[in-house]
């Protein structure tokens, strides 16, 4: 099949594109290569996708441009069967600093993708949403009926994204599925996340830094589970028109996460604390029963297994991935 992955040089988009290329599909990546973090990581993502395509009879085409260019998006979608819309201006804290920029990329860009998909009758648009849409919990775990009161412009933009997808499905009959990801982690993840910071600092003999008390909790989802459910949606129409939580149900507080990483790498290190960061949610915890009912989704990697796998991968790829090594 012909597949377009927006943001396909990024972390999640890159893994989805790699999985699809490994299954022999023809993958086009649209990615602006915005230097939000070291672009060498995106280069490695694209290299992995191309290697997967070459080894399995697929293809990989890279378009370095922006999804805010409606004409370009229309041209790319015209030659596409299924769209995976993963591109976004990421980062809760970045969105607090530049809310208008986040709206332009995340909301206007999404409308471009949906409008082109409607015009060219694509088979499905799979939208990347986020647990950030929930904001402060009224109860946990979050189910999809929980009130959506995001506490950052990023969360607002993701809520708008999935709601536009829902409306395009209801009004125009465009098959869409929006997946609310819960703190995805794994190989090639963004280096400015808590988990990567903990691992990097511990590997260099520096104490992990927790922003806030460490009582914040997260539902960490290993990227292999994200890859699997996205590939399933290439042909599975069981969730068309729906919004689904995709998490691990494996809730852990940040203090414990730091301790697990510290203890595996260097138990002698202390843990230090700094001021909390504005816009971060206090707690996330996914109820995935709807995704299980509609798609048979079940997370397969718990947090301690996933952390161990990530640390092993990190050590093997430290020379190009670790920010402290690259700066030295």
Q: CB within 8 A of 137, min separation 6: which ones?
A: 146, 282, 283, 285
DSSP alpha helices (H): ranges in the chain?
11-22, 39-56, 70-77, 92-97, 99-103, 109-119, 153-172, 194-203, 223-232, 254-265, 289-295, 303-316, 318-321, 323-327
Two structure tokens written together for 63 = 């378009």
Nearest to 85 by CA among 31, 38, 37: 31
Nearest to 187 by CA among 98, 31, 312: 312
Instruction: List residues with catalytic annotation.
Output: 154
| Biggest CA-to-CA distance, the chain | 59
Q: What angle do CA 9, 47, 125 make, to 5 degrees?
A: 35
């Amino acid at each position: 099949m012909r597949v377009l992955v927006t943001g396909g040089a990024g972390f999640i988009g890159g893994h989805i594109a790699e999985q699809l290329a490994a299954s022999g599909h023809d993958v086009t990546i649209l990615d602006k290569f915005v230097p939000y973090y070291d672009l060498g990581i995106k280069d490695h993502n694209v290299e992995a996708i191309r290697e997967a395509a070459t080894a399995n009879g697929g293809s990989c085409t890279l378009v370095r441009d922006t999804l805010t260019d409606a004409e370009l998006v229309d041209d790319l979608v015209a030659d596409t069967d299924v769209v995976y819309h993963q591109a976004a201006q990421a980062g809760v804290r970045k969105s607090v600093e530049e809310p208008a920029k986040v709206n332009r990329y995340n909301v206007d860009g999404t409308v471009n993708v949906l409008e082109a998909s409607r015009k060219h009758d694509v088979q499905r648009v799979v939208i990347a949403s986020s647990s950030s849409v929930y904001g402060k919990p009224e109860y946990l775990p979050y189910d999809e009926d929980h009130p959506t009161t995001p506490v950052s412009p990023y969360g607002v933009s993701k809520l708008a994204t999935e709601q536009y997808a829902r409306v395009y499905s209801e009004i125009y009959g465009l098959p869409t599925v929006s997946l609310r990801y819960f703190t995805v982690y794994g190989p090639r993840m963004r280096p400015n996340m808590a988990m990567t910071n903990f691992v990097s600092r511990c590997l260099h003999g520096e104490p992990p830094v927790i922003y806030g008390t460490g009582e914040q909790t997260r539902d960490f989802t290993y990227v292999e589970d994200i890859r699997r459910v996205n590939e399933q949606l290439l042909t599975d129409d069981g969730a068309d028109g729906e919004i689904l939580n995709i998490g691990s149900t494996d809730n852990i507080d940040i203090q414990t996460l730091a301790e697990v990483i510290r203890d595996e790498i260097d138990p002698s290190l202390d843990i230090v604390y700094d001021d909390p960061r504005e816009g971060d949610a206090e707690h996330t915890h996914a109820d995935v029963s709807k995704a299980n009912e509609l798609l048979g989704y079940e997370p397969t990697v718990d947090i301690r297994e996933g952390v161990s796998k990530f640390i092993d991968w990190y050590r093997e790829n430290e020379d190009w991935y670790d920010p402290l090594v690259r700066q030295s």
